Amino acid sequence: MTESDEPRIVIPPRVTIPIGPQHPALKEPGMFKLTVEGERIIDAEVNIGYNHRSIEKIAEGRTFLQVLYLAERICGICSATHNGTLAQAVEAAAEVEIPERAKFIRTLTWELERIHSHILWLGVAFHEVGFDTAFMYSWRDREVVMDLLETLSGNRVNYAMNTIGGVRRDVTDSLKETLLKGLDKLEERMKYYRDVAIYEKTFWNRVDGVGVLPNKIAKSHGAVGPTGRGSNVPTDVRFNDPTQAYVHLRDSGEFEMVLSDREDVAGRAIVRVVETIEAVRMCRWLLHNLPDGPIRERVRPRIQPNEVLARYEAPRGEVIHYLVTNGSDKPERWKVRAPTHANWVSMAYTLRGGYLADAPIILAAIDPCFSCTDRVVLVDAEDETIQLKPLDVLRAESNKWYESRT
Amino acid sequence: MGFLRKLINRARVKSPYVFHFNSGSCNGCDIEIIAALMPRLDLERFGIKLVGSPRHADVMLCTGPVTEQIKPRLQRIYEQMAEPKFVVAIGSCACSGGVFRGSYNVLGGVDQAIPVTAYIPGCPPKPSAITYGAYKLLEVLSEQLGISEDVAAEPVAEEQTESIKEAVEA
Ligand code: SF4
């Protein structure tokens, strides 16, 4: 055996690892370029756009009712979110007030959706840290809320509950009983998962102190939703600027914004789990206080010229729909700002300095949803050059493209 | 047909490895595929297993209307799969473009880019529909590969479904 007195110092080389667009850890196409030194991530670059389907452009050629169903298909996980927020925007543009009962049912769908989305996230988080047993368990219990949504709306994923001026389906008394029964079961299971997430070392040790996003950075980078609330930023449209039945929910004084000052992935996980339990309680409150009356108001198809901004707290954070109407039955311009778009910026920060093995859970912690977010960036597939198109150039080009088709 | 070939074909039908590719979908179909793999329906009982790499897979599950940007990647991944390979288009988008048909960035259907073996329509198809589609595909495959089942699958008796339901609920 040879022995050297001088310890050798090895400087790990810098390596850039591309992840994606197809990657087993990601359910959606996105590409990340991580620059690592040994095990440490020193730089992260996010490259998305594989899902751009030009929804906003298609919408300009369709009537409001048709756009409602298109909006739903922006993202299958938060379908009621986009559907309901657009309905809200159109109603605001038409300056109509929808019946109270419709407001309650709309909010109920939203909250049920929040439950399903958060349980889905929890399962994915368990999966990312390699705790597959809990992944299977949580997805089994997710089927309970999927069944509730199916009995309520008739579909498992794209609910199509909202229409302009109200909702399409009523909640009967027998349905109410079914929903209440399902909610009881969900609450019990969610309390169990809360304890699993907090007391089970398998999970906790993987998320404790990982992907830290300090409060100040979260504020300056504009983090929204559970990502922001996990860093103690009080942003929740449901309480800050409530619409629909959230006004009553807030005034009842029984519900509070869920915040955590842990600032790491664990904090975001706790916020989501506790929020799910809150959402179950909210659903129960909504069902018990459901007012009587019609569920739908007639709205004429042509909407007067107007410019509105509708906000709602989606499961992932604040979603904004900006709508310009021009007196016809089609939107002049419709713009969607989905929460993942706001959370991207802070994510590159949280990745930096972490371990490579933690990258999947850090990525998952903002609950990214690329299909909501993808914008036009023209990337030449041959040489991978990236070309950002200003809006006017893009508009001219797309108009030319549409002209050549007709 | 040699004995070994027969054995390999049998293994292919009895335990196909599937691989999921998102070609620009809205996530709706993707979560339903995962739901089909989860305890309630459990696609794995047919021997179907989800793998992470196209090189290991026999069947590619495609969701989404194929955007311009994903098209070259989709073709490249298809070429990476080993023969024999099959593609299943899941969801209305993957079948025909669905609501996104006519957009400037969407091809409209997976079959515009690569050959497709089976289509499962629906927006999104229910997990049970996906399971049924997968089962049908296996049936067709076993016919093509010349290893048809002699015994037809037995339908489950009514009382049995009840007890299964109770077991699931408990
Ligand atoms: S078929 Fe429907 S659910 Fe599936 S990707 Fe297309 S829009 Fe989404």
Chain B partners within 8 Å of A157 (Cβ) = 28, 31-32, 124
- On average, the pLDDT of chain B sits at 80
Q: Which of A48, A50, A398 should be substituted to probe chain B, the one whose Cβ sees the most B Cβ atoms within 10 Å?
A: A50
Across the A:B interface, residue pairs with CB atoms under 8 Å apart total: 124
pLDDT digits (tens, 9 = 90+) for B27-36: 888 888 888 8
A390 pLDDT higher than 60: no
Closest by CA to A267, choosing from A227, A317, A233, is: A227
Q: Assess whether pLDDT exceeds 60 at residue A83.
A: yes
Q: Which of B104, B126, B168 to mutate to test the interface with A (most CBs of A within 10 A)?
A: B104
pLDDT tens, per residue, chain B with 170 residues: 677 877 777 777 778 888 888 887 888 888 888 888 888 888 888 788 888 778 888 888 888 888 887 888 888 888 888 878 888 888 888 888 888 887 888 888 888 888 888 888 888 888 888 888 888 888 887 777 776 655 555 666 777 777 767 776 66
* Inter-chain touch B100–A73, beta carbons under 8 Å: yes
Å between B154 CA and nearest CA of chain A: 26
Q: Name the burial class of residue A253, with classes exposed (0-12), middle (13-18) and buried (19+) by CB atoms within 10 angstroms of its CB.
A: exposed
CB contact under 8 A, A371 and B53: no
The CA A167 to ligand 1 mean position distance, Å, reads 22
pLDDT given for residue A383 in this prediction = 42
Residue A354 one-letter amino acid: G
Helices within B90-169 (DSSP H only)? 92-96, 127-144, 158-169
Arithmetic mean of pLDDT over chain A: 79
Tell me the pLDDT tens digit for each residue of B65-105.
888 878 888 888 888 888 788 888 888 888 888 888 878 88
CA nearest B27 in A: which residue?
A76
* Ligand 1 and B121: CB distance under 6 A: no
Q: Do A50 and B67 touch (CB under 8 A)?
A: yes
CB-CB neighbors (< 8 A) of B73 in chain A:
21-22, 29, 50, 381
Nearest atom of ligand 1 to the alpha carbon of B123 = 2
Q: Is the CB of B95 under 6 A from ligand 1?
A: no
Token pair, residue A170, equals 């009523």
Instruction: Tell me which residue range forms the domain holding B59.
Output: 2-169
Q: Rounded to two decimals, what is the model's pTM?
A: 0.83
- Could you give the count of Cα atoms lying within 13 Å of A68 in the half-sphere of its Cβ? 22
CATH of the domain at B122: 3.40.50.12280
Strand-pair partners of A308: A323
Distance between CA A383 and CA A30 in Å, rounded?
Answer: 18
Distance from the A185 Cα atom to the nearest Cα atom in chain B, whole angstroms: 10
Q: Tell me the pLDDT tens digit for each residue of A107-124.
A: 888 888 889 888 888 888
Tell the CATH superfamily of the A62-339 domain. Answer: Cytochrome-c3 Hydrogenase, chain B (1.10.645.10)
pLDDT in tens, A44-69: 777 766 777 778 888 888 888 888 88
Strands A378-379 and B86-90: unpaired
Average pLDDT of A359-374?
67
Number of domains in chain B: 1
pLDDT at A398 exceeding the cut of 60: no
Q: Where are the beta strands (DSSP E) in chain B?
A: 17-22, 49-51, 59-63, 86-90, 118-120
| Model confidence pLDDT, tens digit, residues A158-199 | 888 888 888 888 888 888 888 888 888 888 888 888 888 888
Per residue in A300-324, pLDDT (tens digit) is 888 888 888 888 888 888 888 888 8
Where do we find the tokens 């070994």?
A: B4
Element (H, E) at A334: strand A331-337
